[in-house]
Amino acid sequence: MGSVVIDSAEGGVSRPPRSYFTLTPDQLSERIAGLKADLGSEVIILGHHYVGDDLLAFADLRGDSYGLAKAAAGVKGARTIVFCGVHFMAEAADILAPPGRVVVMPDPTAGCPLADMADIDQVTAAWEAITERAEGDVIPVTYVNSSARLKDFVGRHGGAVCTSSNAGKVIDWALSIGSRLFFFPDQHLGRNTCHTRGIPPDQMILWDPDQPSGSSTPERIAEARVILWKGHCLVHQRFTVEQIATWRAQRPGIRVIVHPECPFEVVQASDLAGSTSFIIDQVEKAEPGSAWAIGTEANLVNRLKHDHPDRFVTSLSPVPSICVDMHRNRAPHLLWLMEHLAEGRVINRITVPAEIVEGARIALDRMIEITGG
């Protein structure tokens, strides 16, 4: 899990005993609600849109990675931030939160395969090779789905973090101060966003960290305006052009909206593409009776379907595309965590080492500054 440090009063990761998983949903809900009331303003719960309803029901604030990063930076009063999401998000909360705050997770083993597709040694080696061959300034940008150590690297090399909500603005900024962009770890978000900025495919190359020279030639590296890392989101990689064609045939007039982590050809075949918050906004403001096929995580799609029964809402894929790591955080884990907090014990704390915080904070603050807060 990259640079994350899990600091538990119990030693390592603390999980609930099996008996907690035999409790009914009502029992879990009642006990969590009672503990939340007892803890009051001392604790704030942040929930990502992809976690289950059993956790999101207790979130004081819900959002995508960008919204929750800003929420962590603006926390007031609460001393403990309970982060219902995955580890890179909790890391960002620990970096951005005001001094004295503690960040904990219901299950801190909830990681992100995309974030793990790039590590500091690989990125450093790629950076050295790229900057040696490319003329002009190369600006590194890391997607928020990355370890704190990579955010630190970017901050120390004049770059910034981005999210799917603001990737366009951050990429515009990077190419306004440098002649080339090094974007990692999600190739699809990078490619799709650069395409919207008018950058043609022949000015982008894909860097494969497992191949010598990234599987490219010195000439191509020198000529490229954008170098994309060979990484992808397992959830959004599953959506296809064939699925879009099937829904258009089955339900004429249906609108297809996908996340920009989807492959380029899927985004091009869709009607709309945007971040999690963008997808939610489009469905919420849509006309009753409208039909939507959505290419993103199944938990969110099901929630939109439930919340808008006057609209036809379905997953683009016939097989629900679920983020397994988000689902590691479940109500029994939250109950176990809240019980410990109520007894004055901190478990499953996420701590970013001090030597990493400085550069990572620069990269995250730079993102917020670029995008206007």
Rg (CA), the chain: 21
Alpha-carbon span 214 to 342, nearest angstrom: 50
pLDDT in tens, the chain (373 residues): 444 444 433 446 899 999 999 999 999 999 999 999 999 999 999 999 899 899 999 999 998 887 888 888 888 889 999 999 999 999 999 998 889 999 999 999 999 999 999 999 999 999 999 999 887 899 999 999 999 999 999 999 999 999 999 999 999 999 999 999 999 999 999 999 999 999 999 999 999 999 998 998 888 998 999 999 999 999 999 999 999 999 999 999 999 999 999 999 999 999 999 999 999 999 999 999 999 999 999 999 999 999 999 999 999 999 988 899 998 999 999 999 999 999 999 999 999 999 999 999 999 999 989 987 6
Identify the pLDDT of residue 258.
Answer: 98
Alpha-carbon distance of 173 to 160, in angstroms, equals: 9
Task: Give the 3-state secondary structure percentages of the chain, helix then strand then coil, rounded to 5.
Answer: 45, 15, 35
pLDDT reported for residue 70? 82
Domains by residue range for the chain, with CATH:
5-112+325-354 (3.40.50.10800), 115-232 (3.40.50.10800), 236-315 (3.40.50.10800)
The secondary structure element, H or E, covering residue 82 is: strand 80-84
> For position 320, what pLDDT does the model report?
85
- Exposure of 113 in the CB half-sphere (CA atoms within 13 A): 13
- Predicted TM-score of the model (pTM): 0.91
Cis peptide before 185 (omega within 30 of 0): yes
Query: The tokens of 367 are what?
Result: 């993102």
